[in-house]
């Protein structure tokens, strides 16, 4: 086998190895790897479609661009913010969760606040999305685990 053929074969193997993607939310749900929300809890899915910019932050986790995460929470009122470190730039979603309910929140890059010193503060929007539309959008994204977030579930 020539040196060129070996190099080409190695490049193809490396390329194929890099193609492995984590399973999407829809794949995990279809495989039964995400159990239904328990009747004494509520579930929040937060997803971010756009694979660019900075990661938006919530009180319990940081969401990577182009991913989705879930949190099971106690029923009741919950506030999810896009930037707890810069409340002047944060947007919030106020949720009233019933037992067994599920809410989908979409986080999008909105705009960047540029100051006169040349620093930029990204601004993110957050909003509840119709569950049918959200399942289509969030379902195609990989589920971000609590371990990959460096956070523990509440």
| Residue 5 belongs to a domain | no
- Residue 107 CA to residue 128 CA, distance in Å, equals 9
In a domain, 7, yes or no: no
- Per-residue pLDDT at 94 exceeds 50: yes
**Cβ-contact 74, 42 below 8 angstroms:** yes
Write out the residue range of the structural domain in which residue 53 sits: 22-146
- Dihedrals phi, psi of 67, to nearest 5 degrees: -145, 175
The model carries a pTM of 0.71
Distances (CA, A) of 88 to 17, 60, 64, 100: 43, 19, 22, 33
Mean pLDDT calculated for residue range 53-63: 47
CA dist 75 and 64 (Å) reads 26
Task: Give the pLDDT of residue 28.
Answer: 92
- Which CATH number covers residue 75? 2.60.40
Domain assignment of residue 71, yes or no: yes
Number of structural domains in the chain: 1
Write out the two tokens for 97.
């969760």
Residue 139 has pLDDT above 80, yes or no: yes
């Amino acid at each position: 086998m020539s040196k060129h053929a070996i190099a080409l074969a190695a490049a193809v193997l490396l390329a194929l190895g890099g193609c492995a993607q984590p399973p999407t939310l829809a794949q995990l749900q279809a495989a039964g790897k995400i159990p239904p929300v328990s009747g004494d809890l509520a579930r929040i899915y937060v997803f971010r479609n756009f694979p660019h910019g900075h990661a938006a932050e919530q009180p319990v986790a940081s969401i990577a661009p182009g991913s989705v995460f879930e949190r099971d929470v106690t029923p009741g009122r919950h506030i999810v913010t896009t930037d707890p470190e810069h409340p002047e730039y944060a947007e919030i979603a106020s949720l009233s969760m019933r037992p067994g309910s599920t809410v989908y929140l979409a986080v999008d890059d909105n705009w960047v606040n540029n100051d006169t010193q040349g620093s930029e503060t990204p601004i993110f929007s957050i909003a509840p999305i119709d569950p049918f539309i959200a399942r289509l959008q969030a379902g195609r994204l990989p589920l971000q685990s609590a371990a990959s977030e460096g956070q523990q579930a509440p």
